[in-house]
Chain A
């Protein structure tokens, strides 16, 4: 098995001038053996995707390979003329991408897209290709291949689309499959299925896989060997088990330490919290949409009969997959979306029937931190304006608001000079700090964090979680933490609601929920947490 299939030697790719560093990757060397899964792990900007694109010959024109080789079957992929490289792509080397929806042509049936690859490489005649398409769709575990082949991509779920991408990538039995974060956009249960599929097919065909990821849980699940990259450099290489249990490089150590872990079974958390601040009963929200003026009505029950209690200094987690209604619920609680029924008692007062005018004076008491640090700050407003505009609109004198903003910026770990600057001058993690600062300007009693750390790299994520814990302690906050990541929820929450199709299917303290789940759905979710097996064994 120890035959080297792909050998990247001293790969160096220059970045365009005026970027924050000179090279996208510098002196990267790695070997991929025949029949192994090699994970390249790193945070955003580590150069992991650039490395993969270079091997595929798919670098954007702004990036130039300045040095190095990628030897594949004795030939240097980087030195091949484009025509030979194209012949190799798809046939010997294939790639799957993070977003299967944008990687598939929206106006072609998936069957035609699988067929196209076969056709482009002159594989068989029409009838043979048609049979092969069905066989491939069956191989990647899609139900009813004849039916699926006739569907357009938008009809399929995210997981099904990624299966189609894998079918396309496997069409010509490549020796090497490059997978660039193929499960990052998927729900946790779907991710587990796709990882399983890649592993199974890789074993069956004896194929080699280069798997790009940012998640050590995924590495634990799938990798034979792992390459750790930081800022364009390889910092550590080794067998997956060895790197995970005994990392050598300081960066790897930090990265692994930052991965959120499930809480131990006996850990019941701390205290019972303060006064009851938020009580929700029988909350309902239904979306009705009509396609066109006379179209058929579609009804989506986003939130059904949800209820809970929240005390000060406590954190309630709301976990679920996409479409579970968890974000809708958060926005309904904020009255950013009108609810259809139920009661939301904020400090004993039902806010649900209030109109915007009546609720406005109460808004300072319940605030939110949003998911996307790039979209949640107005790009045309300075940070200072974003911070003080709310309090000023609520009647706080400007000078006082400014002083308060300076104080809050310090609390969230930002320099006071941030006040004059604009959002685009900050990184994702810093912007999320600004988002938290904005929510704290009012001294709220309830803070809702809607996927507040989901868009962040794992080391930044750990910093923001620490910050949230600290401000919770300092401000005696009641927090609702909405997330799809069960590991994060288990770390920060005192109590967790598991939502599925708009309903709460199970709730309880994380220690119990994750180690002795009662409901079938919770069990499936917990089983799908990446890297779980490895860590429990460790």
Chain B
């Protein structure tokens, strides 16, 4: 009688050497995205220490200075405030709003998705119809109405963005949970008599983390874009607190004379959004185990 040790062992692999990580690191666009985001974040949060001006300092002799005028590397605005300092502080606000909105919408979406997917039945149906209802509003419209009704503060803007972007996470997680629900390990958890909450959040949740991470990354990009959008329209972050969106708003009237006022924050938004999208797509491809299956 041979022992169980006869069975061949699959060698354990630490996560940083896993196929998923190899695929992610091998994805050039995703790596580029990661570098860009790191650079942007560092610039926004550390950069201001190295600038000779703060974002409120008014240099009256250097109003409308174009980029590379003296110490003003990105130039100045109509009041003579340093554009680089304002851009970095605006970036802090925009990135923080983006991240916070992503956290809120991901948590909300995941909880709704897991509960709806695991419970199914009438509760699942009601939850998913609520998701459908939210999805059927044009989100920009909803965003503007909400923003017009409440006093815009960074927290309020974050909540409003989160409220309009949790539905996709919920749908993805619900679908994933529903397929996992019928797997035998979930049956086994029920057989052991585990409470439903534990099955949902300790057994199922770790298995849907992959989908959640991908959705979350793409949500950050979307949230940054939405913040820029409503701030540009004047319902978002209010001056004098800068954000990339309201910088665009105030640049509008000087577009012909001082185009750098629009170009600089515009490029920052584009870089941030593109970078997050690259990372998100890279993660999605890396987590897709099907890309591992080469032939039979």
Contact = CB atoms under 8 A, between A and B. Distances in A.
Given A377-B185, A466-B1, A427 B9 contact: yes
**Chain A CB within 10 Å, residue with most, of B7, B11, B203:** B7
A426 interface: yes
A429 B3 CA distance: 10
B207 A378 contact: yes
Given A60-B294, A60-B296, A463-B2, A334 B207 contact: no
A43 to B, nearest CB: 11
Contacts of B191: 334, 336, 363, 367-368, 390, 439
A78 to B, nearest CB: 17
B75 to A, nearest CB: 52
Interface string A393-428: 110000000000000000001100000011011111
Nearest to A367: B191
A334 B192 CA distance: 10
Nearest to A99: B296
Given A61-B294, A360-B193, A430 B4 contact: yes
B90 to A, nearest CB: 40
A379 interface: yes
A88 interface: no
A393 B3 contact: no
B294 to A, nearest CB: 5
Contact of B194 (A336, A367, A375, A390): A390
Interface string B14-32: 0000000000000000000
A467 to B, nearest CB: 9
Contacts of B1: 463, 466
Interface string A365-389: 0011011100111111100001001
Contacts of A60: 294-296
Contact of B192 (A18, A390, A427, A429): A390
A409 B192 CA distance: 17
Contacts of B193: 359-361, 363-364, 390, 393-394
A53 interface: yes
Contact of A427 (B7, B202, B206, B295): B7
A422 B12 contact: yes
Contact of A429 (B7, B11, B183): B7
A182 to B, nearest CB: 14
B3 A368 contact: no
Interface in B174-195: 183-185, 187-195
B295 A381 contact: no
B151 interface: no
Contacts of B136: none
B4 A331 contact: no
A380 B10 contact: no
Interface string A85-116: 00000000000000000000000000000000
B294 A379 contact: no
B7 A368 contact: no
Contacts of B194: 389-390, 393
A268 B7 CA distance: 34
A378 B192 CA distance: 13
A163 interface: no
A43 B190 CA distance: 33
A282 interface: no
Contacts of A45: 8
B4 A433 contact: yes
B173 to A, nearest CB: 15
B205 to A, nearest CB: 9
A370 B294 contact: no
Contacts of A413: 3-4
A202 interface: no
A367 B3 CA distance: 25
Interface in B240-296: 294-296
B4 A378 contact: no
Interface string B147-191: 000000000000000000000000000000000000111011111
Interface in B190-220: 190-195, 198, 202-203, 206-207
A378 B9 contact: no
B184 A393 contact: no
Contacts of A421: 12
A376 B190 CA distance: 12
B3 A378 contact: no
Contacts of B192: 363, 389-390, 393-394, 438, 442
Contact of A426 (B9, B184, B203, B295): B9
Contacts of B3: 413
A393 B195 contact: yes
B7 A460 contact: yes
Interface string A58-76: 1111110000000000000
A408 to B, nearest CB: 14
A393 B185 contact: no
A128 to B, nearest CB: 34
A459 interface: yes
B184 A375 contact: yes
A427 B198 contact: no
Contacts of B294: 60-62
A20 interface: yes
**Chain A CB within 10 Å, residue with most, of B1, B11, B184, B295:** B184
A469 B128 CA distance: 47
A441 to B, nearest CB: 8
Contacts of A63: 295
Interface in B107-125: none
A353 B294 CA distance: 49
Interface in A472-489: none
A363 B185 CA distance: 16
A370 B207 contact: no
Given A393-B193, A393-B194, A368 B4 contact: no
B184 to A, nearest CB: 4
Nearest to A369: B188
A427 B8 contact: yes
Nearest to A370: B184
A522 B191 CA distance: 32
B195 to A, nearest CB: 7
Contact of B190 (A18, A336, A427, A430): A336
Contact of B183 (A367, A375, A438, A439): A375
A453 to B, nearest CB: 14
A427 B10 contact: yes
- Top 3 A-B pairs, shortest CB-CB distance: A60-B295, A390-B192, A427-B7
Interface of A: 18, 20, 45, 49, 53, 58-63, 254, 331, 334, 336, 359-361, 363-364, 367-368, 370-372, 375-381, 386, 389-390, 393-394, 413-414, 421-422, 424-430, 433, 435, 438-439, 442, 459-460, 463, 466
Given A371-B184, A389-B198, 13 more contacts: A20-B10, A363-B193, A368-B188, A375-B185, A378-B207, A389-B194, A394-B193, A413-B3, A413-B4, A427-B7, A442-B192, A460-B7, A466-B1
13 contacts: A45-B8, A331-B187, A359-B193, A363-B191, A375-B184, A376-B187, A377-B188, A380-B206, A390-B194, A425-B11, A430-B7, A438-B188, A463-B2
